Amino acid sequence: KDIQTLDNALENTLKLRGVSYTWKTDESNVAPQIGVIAQEVEEVYPEFVRTDSEGMKSVNYAQMTAVLIEAVKTLNAEIESLKKENNQLQAQVDKTEDLERRLAQIEQMLKSGTNSSVKMNTTDD
């Protein structure tokens, strides 16, 4: 019921930091952890953070998966758009290079006084 695609997933994801950290504890052999800071996540996605009776905050990483999926989809759409634009620009560059080559041939013919009936190497598009 009330299913809606997440908006601004990429923008909100970019507000978060992935960090490595060590738990504050009395134990000396605590391995470094990798994650996010609950207080920072709470500012963007308060529904992902739980606070226990002692005030300790924790992040529900499983819920973050949906946001990350939508962020990846947004990035993919941007990549596809940039690929298309890049292809169009490359076609324009290719055409410009061909025109420059043809212009250089014409200039060379004019400098050398070659008869205009000489066939130029052209590519018809």
Domain regions of the chain by residue span: 9-112
The one-letter amino acid at 32? P
**Taking residues 62-85, what's their average pLDDT?**
98
The yes-or-no verdict on residue 115 having pLDDT over 70 is: no
Average pLDDT, the chain: 91
Predicted model pTM: 0.71
Query: What local confidence, expressed as pLDDT, does residue 34 receive?
Result: 94
- Tell me the per-residue pLDDT of 5-30, one tens digit each, with 9 for 90 and over: 999 999 999 999 999 988 777 666 67
Q: 67 near 13, Cβ under 8 Å?
A: yes
Per-residue tokens: 16 = 């978060």
Query: What local confidence, expressed as pLDDT, does residue 116 receive?
Result: 54
Which is more confident, 33 or 68? 68
Q: Please spell the DSSP secondary structure of the chain, one letter per residue.
A: ----PPSSHHHHHTT---EEE----S-S-PPPEEE--HHHHHHH-GGGEEE-TTS-EEE-HHHHHHHHHHHHHHHHHHHHHHHHHHHHHHHHHHHHHHHHHHHHHHHHHHHHT--TTSPP-----
